[in-house]
Structure 1
Amino acid sequence: MSSQAVLTEVKNGVARITLNEPDSLNALSTAIIEGLNETIGSIKNDPDIRAVILTGNGRAFCAGGNIKGFSSISSAAAGRKRMEDHTHFLKDLAQMEKPVIAAVNGHAVGAGFSIALACDFIIASERSKFALGFHKIGLVPDLGGLYHLPRIVGMARAKELAFSDRTLSAAEAKEYGICLEVVEVEQLLDRTQEIAETFASSPTIAIGLAKSLLNRSFESSLDDMLREESMVQGIAFTTADHKEGVRAFLEKTKPNFTGSYS
Protein backbone atom coordinates (compact mmCIF):
# COMPACT_ATOMS: atom_id res chain seq x y z
CA MET A 1 0.00 0.00 0.00
CA SER A 2 1.18 3.50 -0.80
CA SER A 3 1.29 5.40 2.46
CA GLN A 4 0.36 8.56 0.55
CA ALA A 5 -2.71 7.29 -1.33
CA VAL A 6 -4.93 7.68 1.74
CA LEU A 7 -4.05 10.25 4.39
CA THR A 8 -5.37 10.35 7.95
CA GLU A 9 -5.37 13.26 10.40
CA VAL A 10 -6.93 13.16 13.87
CA LYS A 11 -8.06 16.31 15.67
CA ASN A 12 -10.37 16.64 18.68
CA GLY A 13 -11.62 13.09 18.38
CA VAL A 14 -12.33 13.43 14.65
CA ALA A 15 -10.44 11.38 12.05
CA ARG A 16 -10.24 13.01 8.62
CA ILE A 17 -9.55 10.47 5.86
CA THR A 18 -8.39 12.01 2.59
CA LEU A 19 -8.18 10.26 -0.76
CA ASN A 20 -4.90 11.57 -2.13
CA GLU A 21 -4.44 10.75 -5.79
CA PRO A 22 -5.71 14.03 -7.26
CA ASP A 23 -4.10 13.52 -10.68
CA SER A 24 -6.48 10.60 -11.28
CA LEU A 25 -9.39 12.40 -9.55
CA ASN A 26 -9.01 9.92 -6.68
CA ALA A 27 -10.24 7.02 -8.80
CA LEU A 28 -10.20 3.75 -6.89
CA SER A 29 -6.67 2.51 -7.51
CA THR A 30 -5.26 -0.54 -5.75
CA ALA A 31 -3.39 1.80 -3.38
CA ILE A 32 -6.56 3.70 -2.46
CA ILE A 33 -8.56 0.50 -1.95
CA GLU A 34 -5.85 -1.00 0.28
CA GLY A 35 -5.52 2.29 2.14
CA LEU A 36 -9.26 2.52 2.80
CA ASN A 37 -9.46 -1.11 3.92
CA GLU A 38 -6.62 -0.60 6.38
CA THR A 39 -7.55 2.87 7.62
CA ILE A 40 -11.28 2.38 8.08
CA GLY A 41 -10.76 -1.08 9.55
CA SER A 42 -8.51 0.46 12.19
CA ILE A 43 -10.62 3.54 12.90
CA LYS A 44 -13.86 1.67 13.50
CA ASN A 45 -12.42 0.06 16.66
CA ASP A 46 -10.45 3.03 18.00
CA PRO A 47 -12.27 4.45 21.05
CA ASP A 48 -10.36 7.72 20.81
CA ILE A 49 -11.90 8.45 17.40
CA ARG A 50 -15.51 9.45 17.85
CA ALA A 51 -16.43 10.85 14.43
CA VAL A 52 -15.06 10.48 10.90
CA ILE A 53 -14.77 12.72 7.84
CA LEU A 54 -14.08 11.31 4.37
CA THR A 55 -12.92 13.69 1.64
CA GLY A 56 -10.67 13.94 -1.42
CA ASN A 57 -7.73 16.08 -2.45
CA GLY A 58 -7.91 18.15 -5.61
CA ARG A 59 -10.85 18.70 -7.95
CA ALA A 60 -12.76 15.52 -7.11
CA PHE A 61 -14.06 13.58 -4.13
CA CYS A 62 -13.74 10.32 -6.07
CA ALA A 63 -14.17 9.65 -9.79
CA GLY A 64 -15.18 6.03 -9.21
CA GLY A 65 -13.48 2.91 -10.44
CA ASN A 66 -10.19 2.83 -12.31
CA ILE A 67 -11.64 2.23 -15.79
CA LYS A 68 -8.21 1.65 -17.34
CA GLY A 69 -7.93 -1.53 -15.29
CA PHE A 70 -11.30 -2.95 -16.35
CA SER A 71 -9.90 -4.49 -19.55
CA SER A 72 -7.96 -7.02 -17.45
CA ILE A 73 -11.19 -8.56 -16.10
CA SER A 74 -11.45 -11.72 -18.16
CA SER A 75 -14.39 -13.55 -16.57
CA ALA A 76 -17.48 -13.08 -14.44
CA ALA A 77 -15.65 -14.78 -11.56
CA ALA A 78 -12.78 -12.30 -11.83
CA GLY A 79 -15.21 -9.39 -11.87
CA ARG A 80 -16.97 -10.70 -8.78
CA LYS A 81 -13.66 -11.16 -6.96
CA ARG A 82 -12.68 -7.60 -7.82
CA MET A 83 -15.91 -6.28 -6.34
CA GLU A 84 -15.60 -8.38 -3.19
CA ASP A 85 -12.17 -6.87 -2.58
CA HIS A 86 -13.79 -3.43 -2.71
CA THR A 87 -16.65 -4.10 -0.33
CA HIS A 88 -14.67 -4.57 2.89
CA PHE A 89 -14.06 -0.86 3.50
CA LEU A 90 -17.56 0.04 2.27
CA LYS A 91 -19.25 -2.17 4.87
CA ASP A 92 -16.94 -0.89 7.60
CA LEU A 93 -17.69 2.70 6.56
CA ALA A 94 -21.46 2.23 6.52
CA GLN A 95 -21.73 0.07 9.63
CA MET A 96 -19.21 1.57 12.05
CA GLU A 97 -20.97 2.84 15.16
CA LYS A 98 -19.64 6.37 14.76
CA PRO A 99 -20.95 9.34 12.76
CA VAL A 100 -19.36 9.47 9.30
CA ILE A 101 -19.52 12.61 7.15
CA ALA A 102 -18.56 12.83 3.48
CA ALA A 103 -17.03 16.22 2.68
CA VAL A 104 -17.60 16.21 -1.08
CA ASN A 105 -15.25 18.77 -2.56
CA GLY A 106 -15.88 18.11 -6.25
CA HIS A 107 -17.10 15.31 -8.50
CA ALA A 108 -18.51 12.19 -6.80
CA VAL A 109 -19.08 9.84 -9.72
CA GLY A 110 -19.82 6.13 -10.04
CA ALA A 111 -18.41 4.26 -7.07
CA GLY A 112 -17.39 7.64 -5.65
CA PHE A 113 -21.06 8.61 -5.44
CA SER A 114 -21.83 5.24 -3.82
CA ILE A 115 -19.11 5.79 -1.21
CA ALA A 116 -20.50 9.21 -0.34
CA LEU A 117 -24.00 7.74 -0.02
CA ALA A 118 -22.67 5.14 2.45
CA CYS A 119 -21.71 7.92 4.86
CA ASP A 120 -24.27 9.21 7.35
CA PHE A 121 -24.26 12.72 5.91
CA ILE A 122 -22.91 14.55 2.89
CA ILE A 123 -21.70 18.13 3.17
CA ALA A 124 -20.93 19.32 -0.34
CA SER A 125 -19.14 22.26 -1.86
CA GLU A 126 -21.16 24.31 -4.30
CA ARG A 127 -18.99 23.05 -7.18
CA SER A 128 -19.77 19.39 -6.45
CA LYS A 129 -21.40 17.12 -9.02
CA PHE A 130 -23.02 13.74 -8.44
CA ALA A 131 -23.69 10.95 -10.94
CA LEU A 132 -23.92 7.19 -10.89
CA GLY A 133 -22.18 7.03 -14.26
CA PHE A 134 -22.26 3.24 -14.66
CA HIS A 135 -24.74 3.32 -17.55
CA LYS A 136 -22.17 5.00 -19.79
CA ILE A 137 -19.80 2.02 -19.54
CA GLY A 138 -22.42 -0.73 -19.52
CA LEU A 139 -22.19 -1.58 -15.82
CA VAL A 140 -24.51 -1.72 -12.83
CA PRO A 141 -24.23 0.70 -9.87
CA ASP A 142 -22.22 -0.94 -7.11
CA LEU A 143 -20.61 -0.38 -3.69
CA GLY A 144 -24.02 -0.11 -2.09
CA GLY A 145 -25.37 2.58 -4.41
CA LEU A 146 -28.48 0.54 -5.19
CA TYR A 147 -29.03 0.04 -1.45
CA HIS A 148 -28.51 3.56 -0.15
CA LEU A 149 -29.86 5.75 -2.97
CA PRO A 150 -33.53 4.61 -2.91
CA ARG A 151 -33.58 4.95 0.86
CA ILE A 152 -32.61 8.60 0.48
CA VAL A 153 -34.46 9.75 -2.65
CA GLY A 154 -37.19 7.13 -3.06
CA MET A 155 -37.43 4.27 -5.55
CA ALA A 156 -38.74 6.20 -8.57
CA ARG A 157 -36.06 8.89 -8.33
CA ALA A 158 -33.34 6.27 -7.74
CA LYS A 159 -34.41 4.39 -10.87
CA GLU A 160 -34.44 7.60 -12.90
CA LEU A 161 -30.92 8.49 -11.79
CA ALA A 162 -29.65 4.95 -12.39
CA PHE A 163 -31.24 4.55 -15.82
CA SER A 164 -30.43 8.04 -17.14
CA ASP A 165 -26.98 8.54 -15.60
CA ARG A 166 -27.97 12.16 -15.17
CA THR A 167 -25.51 14.43 -13.36
CA LEU A 168 -26.81 16.35 -10.35
CA SER A 169 -25.53 19.72 -9.25
CA ALA A 170 -24.90 20.26 -5.54
CA ALA A 171 -28.13 22.29 -5.33
CA GLU A 172 -30.15 19.48 -6.95
CA ALA A 173 -28.54 16.91 -4.66
CA LYS A 174 -29.56 18.98 -1.65
CA GLU A 175 -33.10 19.31 -2.99
CA TYR A 176 -33.31 15.51 -3.29
CA GLY A 177 -32.05 15.03 0.27
CA ILE A 178 -28.69 13.61 -0.80
CA CYS A 179 -26.72 16.49 0.73
CA LEU A 180 -27.35 17.80 4.21
CA GLU A 181 -25.70 21.14 3.41
CA VAL A 182 -24.05 22.90 0.48
CA VAL A 183 -21.31 25.42 1.30
CA GLU A 184 -18.64 27.40 -0.50
CA VAL A 185 -15.63 25.27 -1.30
CA GLU A 186 -13.38 27.37 0.96
CA GLN A 187 -15.68 26.62 3.91
CA LEU A 188 -16.15 22.90 3.30
CA LEU A 189 -13.53 21.37 5.59
CA ASP A 190 -14.05 23.89 8.40
CA ARG A 191 -17.81 23.38 8.35
CA THR A 192 -17.50 19.60 8.19
CA GLN A 193 -14.98 19.61 11.05
CA GLU A 194 -17.36 21.76 13.10
CA ILE A 195 -20.20 19.28 12.62
CA ALA A 196 -17.95 16.28 13.30
CA GLU A 197 -16.58 17.80 16.51
CA THR A 198 -20.15 18.35 17.71
CA PHE A 199 -20.78 14.63 17.29
CA ALA A 200 -17.41 13.74 18.83
CA SER A 201 -18.33 15.64 22.00
CA SER A 202 -21.73 13.94 22.20
CA PRO A 203 -22.61 10.59 23.84
CA THR A 204 -21.10 8.65 20.96
CA ILE A 205 -21.97 5.21 22.32
CA ALA A 206 -25.66 6.14 22.26
CA ILE A 207 -25.24 7.63 18.78
CA GLY A 208 -23.55 4.45 17.57
CA LEU A 209 -26.28 2.24 19.01
CA ALA A 210 -28.97 4.40 17.40
CA LYS A 211 -27.12 4.28 14.07
CA SER A 212 -26.96 0.49 14.16
CA LEU A 213 -30.74 0.32 14.55
CA LEU A 214 -31.49 3.01 11.97
CA ASN A 215 -29.39 1.12 9.44
CA ARG A 216 -31.73 -1.85 9.86
CA SER A 217 -35.00 0.02 10.29
CA PHE A 218 -36.28 -0.43 6.72
CA GLU A 219 -35.93 -4.21 7.00
CA SER A 220 -37.39 -4.46 10.52
CA SER A 221 -40.95 -4.77 11.72
CA LEU A 222 -42.21 -2.54 14.52
CA ASP A 223 -42.04 -5.49 16.92
CA ASP A 224 -38.43 -6.16 15.86
CA MET A 225 -37.46 -2.53 16.37
CA LEU A 226 -39.17 -2.23 19.75
CA ARG A 227 -37.34 -5.35 20.93
CA GLU A 228 -33.97 -4.12 19.67
CA GLU A 229 -34.54 -0.63 21.10
CA SER A 230 -35.13 -2.23 24.50
CA MET A 231 -31.90 -4.21 24.24
CA VAL A 232 -29.68 -1.31 23.23
CA GLN A 233 -31.34 1.01 25.73
CA GLY A 234 -30.41 -1.49 28.42
CA ILE A 235 -26.80 -1.11 27.29
CA ALA A 236 -27.04 2.69 27.15
CA PHE A 237 -28.35 2.82 30.74
CA THR A 238 -25.03 1.31 31.92
CA THR A 239 -22.73 3.84 30.22
CA ALA A 240 -20.75 6.60 31.86
CA ASP A 241 -22.22 9.02 29.33
CA HIS A 242 -25.76 8.27 30.55
CA LYS A 243 -24.74 8.86 34.16
CA GLU A 244 -22.97 12.08 33.17
CA GLY A 245 -25.98 13.27 31.20
CA VAL A 246 -28.33 12.68 34.14
CA ARG A 247 -25.91 14.42 36.51
CA ALA A 248 -25.61 17.46 34.24
CA PHE A 249 -29.37 17.63 33.71
CA LEU A 250 -30.10 17.57 37.44
CA GLU A 251 -27.33 20.04 38.27
CA LYS A 252 -28.12 22.26 35.25
CA THR A 253 -24.57 22.14 33.94
CA LYS A 254 -23.02 21.21 30.61
CA PRO A 255 -22.30 17.47 30.35
CA ASN A 256 -18.80 16.20 29.61
CA PHE A 257 -19.35 13.08 27.53
CA THR A 258 -16.35 10.81 27.14
CA GLY A 259 -17.76 8.09 24.91
CA SER A 260 -16.99 5.41 27.48
CA TYR A 261 -18.98 2.64 29.08
CA SER A 262 -17.66 3.19 32.59
Structure 2
Amino acid sequence: MENEAVIMQVNNGIATITLNEPNSLNALSGAIIEKLNHFFNSIKNDSSIRAVILTGNGRSFCAGGDIKGFSKVTSAASGRKYMQKHSYFLKELVNMEKPVIAAVNGFAIGAGFSIAIACDIVIASSKAKFGLSFNKVGLVPDLGALYHLPRIVGMARAKELAFSDRILSASEAKDYGICLEVVEEDYLLNFCTELADSFVANPPIAIGLTKTMLNHSMESSLEDILKEEAMVQGIVFNTQDHQEGVRAFIDKTKPNFTGSYQ
Protein backbone atom coordinates (compact mmCIF):
# COMPACT_ATOMS: atom_id res chain seq x y z
CA MET A 1 0.00 0.00 0.00
CA GLU A 2 2.89 2.36 0.74
CA ASN A 3 3.92 2.08 -2.92
CA GLU A 4 0.49 3.08 -4.26
CA ALA A 5 0.37 6.36 -6.17
CA VAL A 6 -2.70 7.40 -4.19
CA ILE A 7 -3.86 5.98 -0.87
CA MET A 8 -7.44 6.08 0.42
CA GLN A 9 -8.40 5.33 4.01
CA VAL A 10 -11.96 5.41 5.33
CA ASN A 11 -12.73 6.00 8.98
CA ASN A 12 -15.98 7.08 10.65
CA GLY A 13 -17.56 8.15 7.39
CA ILE A 14 -14.52 10.18 6.22
CA ALA A 15 -12.43 9.16 3.20
CA THR A 16 -8.89 10.54 3.40
CA ILE A 17 -7.21 10.50 -0.01
CA THR A 18 -3.44 11.03 -0.02
CA LEU A 19 -1.37 11.69 -3.13
CA ASN A 20 1.62 9.44 -2.54
CA GLU A 21 4.45 10.23 -4.95
CA PRO A 22 6.49 12.57 -2.74
CA ASN A 23 9.69 12.22 -4.77
CA SER A 24 7.96 14.03 -7.65
CA LEU A 25 6.15 16.41 -5.27
CA ASN A 26 2.92 14.57 -6.12
CA ALA A 27 2.85 15.89 -9.69
CA LEU A 28 -0.09 14.48 -11.63
CA SER A 29 1.42 11.32 -13.08
CA GLY A 30 -0.68 8.87 -15.05
CA ALA A 31 -0.81 6.60 -11.99
CA ILE A 32 -2.11 9.39 -9.75
CA ILE A 33 -4.76 10.41 -12.28
CA GLU A 34 -5.92 6.81 -12.72
CA LYS A 35 -6.29 6.34 -8.96
CA LEU A 36 -8.04 9.69 -8.43
CA ASN A 37 -10.50 8.84 -11.19
CA HIS A 38 -11.19 5.49 -9.54
CA PHE A 39 -11.52 6.77 -5.98
CA PHE A 40 -13.75 9.75 -6.71
CA ASN A 41 -15.99 7.66 -8.94
CA SER A 42 -16.42 5.09 -6.18
CA ILE A 43 -16.91 7.62 -3.38
CA LYS A 44 -19.85 9.36 -5.05
CA ASN A 45 -21.86 6.10 -4.91
CA ASP A 46 -20.78 5.03 -1.42
CA SER A 47 -23.38 6.17 1.11
CA SER A 48 -21.12 5.19 4.02
CA ILE A 49 -18.73 8.00 3.05
CA ARG A 50 -20.06 11.42 4.01
CA ALA A 51 -16.99 13.65 3.71
CA VAL A 52 -13.62 13.61 1.94
CA ILE A 53 -10.19 14.97 2.86
CA LEU A 54 -7.66 15.35 0.03
CA THR A 55 -4.00 15.82 0.92
CA GLY A 56 -0.45 14.97 -0.14
CA ASN A 57 2.41 12.96 1.30
CA GLY A 58 5.69 14.76 1.87
CA ARG A 59 6.33 18.46 1.39
CA SER A 60 3.87 18.95 -1.45
CA PHE A 61 0.09 18.80 -1.82
CA CYS A 62 0.43 18.64 -5.60
CA ALA A 63 3.10 20.35 -7.69
CA GLY A 64 0.93 20.43 -10.82
CA GLY A 65 1.09 18.51 -14.06
CA ASP A 66 3.66 15.88 -14.93
CA ILE A 67 5.83 18.04 -17.18
CA LYS A 68 7.75 15.03 -18.49
CA GLY A 69 4.44 13.53 -19.53
CA PHE A 70 3.61 16.56 -21.67
CA SER A 71 5.80 15.08 -24.40
CA LYS A 72 2.97 12.64 -25.11
CA VAL A 73 0.85 15.55 -26.32
CA THR A 74 1.80 15.78 -29.99
CA SER A 75 -1.33 17.34 -31.51
CA ALA A 76 -4.39 19.38 -30.61
CA ALA A 77 -6.43 16.17 -30.60
CA SER A 78 -4.08 14.39 -28.20
CA GLY A 79 -3.98 17.51 -26.00
CA ARG A 80 -7.76 17.51 -25.78
CA LYS A 81 -7.80 13.81 -24.89
CA TYR A 82 -5.08 14.37 -22.28
CA MET A 83 -7.10 17.11 -20.58
CA GLN A 84 -10.35 15.13 -20.68
CA LYS A 85 -8.66 12.26 -18.86
CA HIS A 86 -7.15 14.63 -16.29
CA SER A 87 -10.35 16.56 -15.62
CA TYR A 88 -12.66 13.59 -14.98
CA PHE A 89 -11.90 13.26 -11.27
CA LEU A 90 -12.16 17.03 -10.81
CA LYS A 91 -15.74 17.05 -12.12
CA GLU A 92 -16.58 14.19 -9.76
CA LEU A 93 -14.96 16.07 -6.85
CA VAL A 94 -16.95 19.24 -7.54
CA ASN A 95 -20.28 17.61 -8.37
CA MET A 96 -20.46 14.86 -5.75
CA GLU A 97 -22.98 15.71 -3.03
CA LYS A 98 -20.40 15.36 -0.26
CA PRO A 99 -18.10 17.99 1.29
CA VAL A 100 -14.49 17.83 0.13
CA ILE A 101 -11.73 19.44 2.22
CA ALA A 102 -8.30 20.17 0.76
CA ALA A 103 -5.65 19.71 3.47
CA VAL A 104 -2.84 21.62 1.74
CA ASN A 105 0.31 20.41 3.44
CA GLY A 106 2.88 22.10 1.17
CA PHE A 107 3.17 23.20 -2.45
CA ALA A 108 -0.13 23.63 -4.32
CA ILE A 109 1.25 24.79 -7.64
CA GLY A 110 -0.22 24.83 -11.14
CA ALA A 111 -2.88 22.15 -11.42
CA GLY A 112 -2.32 21.47 -7.71
CA PHE A 113 -3.61 24.97 -7.00
CA SER A 114 -6.55 24.29 -9.33
CA ILE A 115 -7.41 21.08 -7.47
CA ALA A 116 -7.20 22.75 -4.05
CA ILE A 117 -9.60 25.57 -4.94
CA ALA A 118 -12.02 23.12 -6.58
CA CYS A 119 -12.54 21.58 -3.14
CA ASP A 120 -15.32 22.97 -0.96
CA ILE A 121 -12.97 24.16 1.77
CA VAL A 122 -9.19 24.66 1.84
CA ILE A 123 -7.24 24.32 5.09
CA ALA A 124 -3.55 25.12 4.76
CA SER A 125 -0.44 24.22 6.69
CA SER A 126 1.65 27.22 7.68
CA LYS A 127 4.21 25.86 5.19
CA ALA A 128 1.78 25.78 2.25
CA LYS A 129 2.49 27.72 -0.93
CA PHE A 130 -0.04 28.53 -3.67
CA GLY A 131 0.57 29.61 -7.27
CA LEU A 132 -0.72 29.08 -10.80
CA SER A 133 2.69 28.97 -12.53
CA PHE A 134 1.25 27.80 -15.87
CA ASN A 135 3.00 30.64 -17.70
CA LYS A 136 6.36 29.14 -16.82
CA VAL A 137 5.67 26.27 -19.22
CA GLY A 138 3.74 28.31 -21.78
CA LEU A 139 0.27 27.05 -20.83
CA VAL A 140 -3.01 28.55 -19.62
CA PRO A 141 -4.46 27.66 -16.19
CA ASP A 142 -6.56 24.50 -16.33
CA LEU A 143 -8.54 22.06 -14.16
CA GLY A 144 -11.12 24.72 -13.47
CA ALA A 145 -8.81 27.44 -12.12
CA LEU A 146 -10.26 30.06 -14.46
CA TYR A 147 -13.73 29.22 -13.12
CA HIS A 148 -13.03 28.93 -9.40
CA LEU A 149 -10.32 31.53 -8.79
CA PRO A 150 -12.21 34.71 -9.82
CA ARG A 151 -15.19 33.56 -7.77
CA ILE A 152 -12.94 33.33 -4.72
CA VAL A 153 -10.63 36.34 -5.07
CA GLY A 154 -12.39 38.56 -7.62
CA MET A 155 -11.57 39.09 -11.28
CA ALA A 156 -8.76 41.66 -10.90
CA ARG A 157 -6.87 39.57 -8.35
CA ALA A 158 -7.40 36.40 -10.40
CA LYS A 159 -5.91 38.11 -13.46
CA GLU A 160 -2.94 39.40 -11.47
CA LEU A 161 -2.21 35.93 -10.08
CA ALA A 162 -2.61 34.32 -13.53
CA PHE A 163 -0.51 36.86 -15.40
CA SER A 164 2.30 37.12 -12.83
CA ASP A 165 2.51 33.52 -11.60
CA ARG A 166 3.16 34.98 -8.15
CA ILE A 167 3.51 32.45 -5.34
CA LEU A 168 1.36 33.08 -2.27
CA SER A 169 2.25 32.14 1.28
CA ALA A 170 -0.37 30.41 3.40
CA SER A 171 -1.16 33.66 5.23
CA GLU A 172 -1.57 35.55 1.94
CA ALA A 173 -3.85 32.80 0.65
CA LYS A 174 -5.99 33.17 3.77
CA ASP A 175 -6.13 36.95 3.34
CA TYR A 176 -7.39 36.41 -0.24
CA GLY A 177 -10.04 33.93 0.89
CA ILE A 178 -8.37 30.98 -0.85
CA CYS A 179 -8.02 29.03 2.38
CA LEU A 180 -10.34 29.13 5.36
CA GLU A 181 -7.72 28.56 8.03
CA VAL A 182 -3.95 28.21 8.40
CA VAL A 183 -2.75 25.73 11.02
CA GLU A 184 0.58 24.29 12.07
CA GLU A 185 1.81 21.42 9.92
CA ASP A 186 1.57 18.78 12.66
CA TYR A 187 -2.06 19.69 13.36
CA LEU A 188 -3.30 19.91 9.76
CA LEU A 189 -4.91 16.49 9.37
CA ASN A 190 -6.34 16.52 12.89
CA PHE A 191 -7.93 19.91 12.22
CA CYS A 192 -9.37 18.72 8.90
CA THR A 193 -10.66 15.52 10.47
CA GLU A 194 -12.42 17.47 13.22
CA LEU A 195 -13.97 19.71 10.57
CA ALA A 196 -15.05 16.69 8.51
CA ASP A 197 -16.52 15.09 11.65
CA SER A 198 -18.78 18.12 12.06
CA PHE A 199 -20.06 17.54 8.50
CA VAL A 200 -20.52 13.80 9.00
CA ALA A 201 -22.72 14.44 12.04
CA ASN A 202 -25.23 16.38 9.91
CA PRO A 203 -27.90 15.09 7.46
CA PRO A 204 -26.11 13.93 4.27
CA ILE A 205 -29.04 14.46 1.90
CA ALA A 206 -29.53 18.06 3.01
CA ILE A 207 -25.78 18.74 2.94
CA GLY A 208 -25.42 17.28 -0.55
CA LEU A 209 -28.31 19.29 -1.98
CA THR A 210 -27.01 22.43 -0.28
CA LYS A 211 -23.60 21.92 -1.95
CA THR A 212 -25.25 21.44 -5.34
CA MET A 213 -27.24 24.67 -5.02
CA LEU A 214 -24.27 26.67 -3.75
CA ASN A 215 -22.13 25.46 -6.65
CA HIS A 216 -24.28 27.35 -9.16
CA SER A 217 -25.76 30.04 -6.92
CA MET A 218 -23.49 32.78 -8.29
CA GLU A 219 -24.87 32.25 -11.78
CA SER A 220 -28.50 32.15 -10.58
CA SER A 221 -30.99 34.90 -9.89
CA LEU A 222 -32.69 35.23 -6.51
CA GLU A 223 -35.94 34.09 -8.09
CA ASP A 224 -34.23 31.00 -9.52
CA ILE A 225 -32.75 30.13 -6.13
CA LEU A 226 -36.09 30.62 -4.34
CA LYS A 227 -37.76 28.27 -6.83
CA GLU A 228 -35.02 25.69 -6.40
CA GLU A 229 -35.14 25.99 -2.61
CA ALA A 230 -38.87 25.26 -2.69
CA MET A 231 -38.35 22.19 -4.85
CA VAL A 232 -35.41 20.88 -2.83
CA GLN A 233 -37.07 21.61 0.51
CA GLY A 234 -40.00 19.54 -0.67
CA ILE A 235 -37.60 16.65 -1.13
CA VAL A 236 -35.90 16.92 2.26
CA PHE A 237 -39.22 17.38 4.09
CA ASN A 238 -39.81 13.77 3.09
CA THR A 239 -36.60 12.32 4.49
CA GLN A 240 -36.17 10.34 7.67
CA ASP A 241 -33.42 12.79 8.60
CA HIS A 242 -35.95 15.63 8.76
CA GLN A 243 -38.23 13.57 10.99
CA GLU A 244 -35.26 12.61 13.15
CA GLY A 245 -34.11 16.21 13.42
CA VAL A 246 -37.56 17.38 14.52
CA ARG A 247 -37.82 14.53 17.04
CA ALA A 248 -34.39 15.29 18.50
CA PHE A 249 -35.14 19.02 18.69
CA ILE A 250 -38.38 18.41 20.60
CA ASP A 251 -36.83 15.75 22.86
CA LYS A 252 -33.64 17.80 23.34
CA THR A 253 -31.45 14.85 22.30
CA LYS A 254 -28.71 14.36 19.72
CA PRO A 255 -30.10 13.37 16.31
CA ASN A 256 -28.88 10.30 14.43
CA PHE A 257 -28.97 11.17 10.73
CA THR A 258 -28.87 8.16 8.41
CA GLY A 259 -29.34 9.75 4.99
CA SER A 260 -32.56 7.83 4.37
CA TYR A 261 -35.76 8.79 2.62
CA GLN A 262 -39.12 7.81 4.07
TM-score (norm 2): 0.97
8 Å Cα contact 1:50-1:259 kept in structure 2:
no
Query: How many residues of Structure 1 are paired with residues of Structure 2 in the alignment?
Result: 261
The ranges of structure 1 where at least 4 consecutive aligned residues each deviate by more than 4 angstroms after the TM superposition are none
**Rounded Cα–Cα distance in structure 2 between residues aligned with 1:3 and 1:245:** 44
The letter for the 1-side match of 2:11 is K
Cα distance in 2 between the residues matched to 1:100 and 1:72: 31
| Counterparts of 1:100 and 1:85, CA distance in 2 | 21
Superposition pairs for residues 175-190 of structure 1, below 5 Å?
A: 175-190=175-190
Q: Secondary structure at the match of 1:48?
A: coil
The 5 A counterparts of 1:120-139 are 120-139=120-139
Superposition deviation, residue 260 in structure 1: 2.3
Equivalent position of 2:75 in the other structure:
75
TM-score of the superposition, structure 1-length normalised?
Answer: 0.97
Partner Cα separation in structure 1 for residue 239 and residue 3 of structure 2: 37
Which one is further off, 249-258 or 129-138? 249-258
The alpha carbon displacement at 1:261 in A equals 2.2
2:256 aligned residue: 256
Instruction: State how far apart, in whole Å, the 2-side matches of 1:87 and 1:58 are.
Output: 24
Which residue in 1 is equivalent to 2:90?
A: 90
State the shift of 1:3 in Å.
7.3
State the partner residue of 2:170.
170
CA contact (8 A) 1:150 1:157 kept: yes
The SS at the match of 1:58 is coil
Aligned-pair CA distance for 1:156: 0.7
- Alpha-carbon offset, residue 72 of structure 1: 2.7
Q: Which residue of 2 aligns with 1:62?
A: 62
Aligned equivalent of 1:42 = 42
Query: Structure 1 vs Structure 2: percent identity of aligned residues?
Result: 70
Residues in 2 aligned to 1:61 and 1:55: alpha-carbon distance in whole angstroms: 6
What corresponds to 2:146 in structure 1?
146
> Structure 2: which 5+ residue stretches go unaligned?
none
Aligned to 1:222: 222
The 1-side partners of 2:92 and 2:179 are apart by: 21
- Across the aligned residues of Structure 1 and Structure 2, the Cα RMSD in angstroms comes to 1.1
SS at match of 1:163: helix
| DSSP-derived class of the 1:179 partner | coil
Residue in 1 that maps onto 2:107: 107
Aligned equivalents of 2:179, 2:110: Cα separation in 1: 16
Unaligned runs of 5+ in 1: none
> Would you say 1:119 and 2:119 are equivalent positions?
yes
> Is the CA contact 1:201–1:258 (under 8 Å) kept in the aligned structure 2?
no
CA gap of 1:3–1:97, structure 2 versus 1, over 3 A, is: farther
| 2:8 match: secondary structure | strand
Q: Whole-Å Cα distance in 2 between the matches of residues 201 and 184 of structure 1? A: 25
